[in-house]
Every structure is written in structure tokens, then in C-alpha cells.
Amino acid sequence: MSREDREAQEDELLALANIFPKDEFRRAESLKGGEIQVCLELPSNFEISIKSNTAENIFIENFKDTLSYLPPVVLNFEFPSDYPSTSPPNFTLSCKWLIPKQLVRLCQHLDELWKENAGCVVLFAWTHFLKKETFKYLSIQSPYEIEVCPNVSQNGIHPPGETDLCSNAESQEDWVYDKRVIQDVVSVSALINCILEFNESQQKKCFDSKLYMCNICFSEKLGSECTNFKLCNHVYCNICLKDYFEIKIKDGQVHSLNCPEPECSSTATPAQVKELVEEELFSRYDRLLLQSSLDLMPDVVYCPRTCCRTPVMQELDNTMGICSCCHYAFCTLCKLAYHGISPCRVTTDAEG
């Protein structure tokens, strides 16, 4: 390896580390290479659906107005000793929602970009193309349908002719397989979960990095210090919202942890409450929430022992309840020890 190539490689790796966040660029520990996750942001009002067509049924999952981001196109690369003076980086390209034929086209264009920039470092040009031009280059437009073939849920990766992921937008003529392409879809459900989880994580990442005005203390704070109510998108700082939640829970108003905005009916999720209040207070919130739900169920009674009070399911046409915690057998009408066929005080009093 020449000194010029060695310095160019090291400079490019340092530049990539400065350009990309740590969760998008990972440098290899032993080799001159690494991994870049190229995240693609969807245009507004972009509609995506996933279609699985089997002999038994057709399953369609629509993501209308719910997605802002798709899982990344992942570029793994390794520098040969004569890069960039002579040879391009060795690389693989993978993506969970693009079909192998589309990934092959992207690989071919990366090859073309290298030819245009031969002798110069090329990774930034590659990642810029993948991030900014992938949709246009592959003619991906809304509404876009990802169609999953039947064998995807059983066999994972397949060579040409047994492709897991296919698309109505792509014709099925013969194409040249490229060993640099990795299509790692395991199942339809795994693909759906991956899309939803990545979209949520990216939305949170975007939210955390922006400034928001809290309408309680009227201070401007980063999203990482705030909580938003998902239905109404009202945002408040965690300090104010923590005080608000604590007052409500101490007063037993667990069903009224609404957005503080007047006349707004959005409700905090248990996860949001748990993140802000102390463990002891959350346990009270959780207990009161469960109890209020059980109180609305006509077939649930409570163990009459004051030291227990465990919820007990009441069987139809049976007045005996047995506590699963303390094993106390009681009459569900008078709440005394179970008296078998003996007259119940409650029914006797009612008849009198």
C-alpha cells in the first residue's frame, strides 16, 4: 500500500465519522472499512403497502399517512490496498424493503460513479446518491406496493428465480444476479415490525433534536426534555408534566391524565407516565387503573378480607368465590364465609 492511498483511506474514514451520526456510521475495528446506514426520508403523503400473496389468501398491510421513514439501505465496505489510486472499495448492499433486482441496479450505478471518480475517494458520492436519488433512480412513486412472495416466510434469502421480495412496479424479465446484493427479509411479519419500529425510532430521534415551547412554563426546550401527546401533538416539558401527573395520581384521578391543553381529550399512555413519575407512584397509578377497570366488570368481586382484597372471577350461577391469593372461600352476595345451601343473609333480608 502506498503512503498516498493509506492517508486517503484514513482521511475518508475520519470524514465519514464527522459527517454521519454514530448510529449511521460504524467503522470496522480490524479492517480498513465499515458500515453506513443510509436512511431515506419519505416525501409527505407517501403511501406504502405490503402485499403477501399465497395460495391460501392475500394479505395487504397499508401504511397510509403513518410512515415518515423506511429502514435504511446498508452499505458495507472494505478498502483494498490500492484504493483509491486503482481499485474501488469492495462492498455489499442490503435493504429489507427493496427487491434484489432493485439493489442490483443500485450496485451498478455505484460502479458507474466509481468510473467517473476513479482515482479519488468515492464513498461520500455513493452515500449521497443512495440518500438523495434512490427513489428517483428506481422510479419509486406513491402509492408504492412491496409484494412479498409466499416462500419469504420459510426460506429467507434466495438466488434469482426464487426471489422473496417482488414488486408490481418491476417487470419479471431475466436479470443478472450480483453477489454483492443481500436481501435479508425473514418473514412478512418481521418486515412489518421492522418498518414500524424503525419509523418510530427515527421520528423520536427527529423529535429529540428540535426545540419546543412548553405551554405550561413557557420555556423553550429540546424534544429530548419533553413529551408529546401523540393524538394531538401538544408538547410539554418533562418537569412540568411530571408535576402534573404526580398531582393527578395522588388524588386518584388516574383516568384524567389528559393533555393539559384546555378541552383536549388526548390521554397519556402508561409508558409516558412510567417514564416521568417515581416507581412507587407509578405502582399506585397502575393499581388504581386496574382496579377501576375491574370495577366495571360485573363478574369480578374482591376478596372480603381487608388484608387481601384480591380480585376474584365469579362463575355464572354460582355464589361461591375462592380467592386465588389467600384461598378464602366466601359468598359473593353477603361476603361472609361460604355457607353452602344455608340461606344467605342478603337474600333473606331482601325477602323479608
Instruction: Write out the DSSP string of 289-352.
Output: HHHHHHHT-TTEEE-S-TTT--EEEPPTT--EEE-TTT--EEETTT-SB--TTSPPHHHHHHH-
d(CA 46, CA 270): 31
> What is the model's pLDDT at position 150?
47
Quote the cell numbers at residue 294. Answer: 375491574
d(CA 91, CA 36): 11
> How confident is the model over 272-305, as pLDDT tens digits?
989 999 988 888 888 887 777 666 677 878 888 8
pTM for this structure? 0.68
For 169, the 3-state DSSP assignment is coil
Mean pLDDT of all residues belonging to the chain? 83
For 257, the 3-state DSSP assignment is coil
> What is the model's pLDDT at position 58?
53
Strand intervals (E) in the chain: 25-27, 33-41, 48-53, 58-62, 69-78, 90-94, 144-148, 165-166, 181-182, 211-213, 220-222, 226-228, 235-237, 300-302, 311-313, 320-322, 329-331
List CB contacts of 252: < 8 A, sequence separation 6 or more: 288
Where is 110: in which H helix or E strand? helix 100-116
**Residues written for the chain:** 352
If you search the block for the grid coordinates 406496493, which residue do you land on? Answer: 145
Quote the cell numbers at residue 237. Answer: 416539558
Q: Which of 68-82, 130-144, 149-163, 302-316 has the lowest mean pLDDT?
A: 149-163
Q: Please state whether beta strands 220-222 and 226-228 pair in parallel, antiparallel, or not at all (unpaired).
A: unpaired
- With CA atoms as reference, report the closest residue to 194 among 61, 70, 323: 70
d(CA 210, CA 235): 12
> What is the model's pLDDT at position 216?
92
d(CA 92, CA 75): 6
* Per-residue confidence band for 165, with pLDDT thresholds at 50, 70 and 90: low
Q: Please state whether beta strands 144-148 and 165-166 pair in parallel, antiparallel, or not at all (unpaired).
A: antiparallel
- With CA atoms as reference, report the closest residue to 130 among 39, 43, 26: 39
For 123, the 3-state DSSP assignment is helix
For residue 311, with 0-12 CB atoms within 10 Å meaning exposed, 13-18 middle and 19 or more buried, which class applies? middle
78 near 89, Cβ under 8 Å? yes
Q: What percentage of the chain has pLDDT greater than the value 70?
A: 85
If you search the block for the grid coordinates 372461600, which residue do you land on? Answer: 329
Could you tell me which residue, 70 or 159, shows the higher pLDDT? 70
List CB contacts of 300: < 8 A, sequence separation 6 or more: 294, 311, 312, 313, 314
For 49, the 3-state DSSP assignment is strand
> How confident is the model over 97-134, as pLDDT tens digits?
888 889 999 999 999 999 998 899 999 999 999 999 99
d(CA 16, CA 24): 10
Quote the cell numbers at residue 246. Answer: 404526580
d(CA 42, CA 36): 19
**Mean pLDDT across the stretch 259-284?**
89
Domains and CATH numbers, the chain: 3-201 (3.10.110.10), 210-294 (3.30.40.10), 301-351 (2.20.25.20)
- With CA atoms as reference, report the closest residue to 25 among 123, 115, 142: 123
> What is the model's pLDDT at position 143?
87
> What is the model's pLDDT at position 344?
84
> How confident is the model over 133-142, as pLDDT tens digits?
999 999 998 8
348 pLDDT above the threshold of 70? no
Quote the cell numbers at residue 303. Answer: 376478596
Could you tell me which residue, 349 or 281, shows the higher pLDDT? 281
* Per-residue confidence band for 336, with pLDDT thresholds at 50, 70 and 90: confident
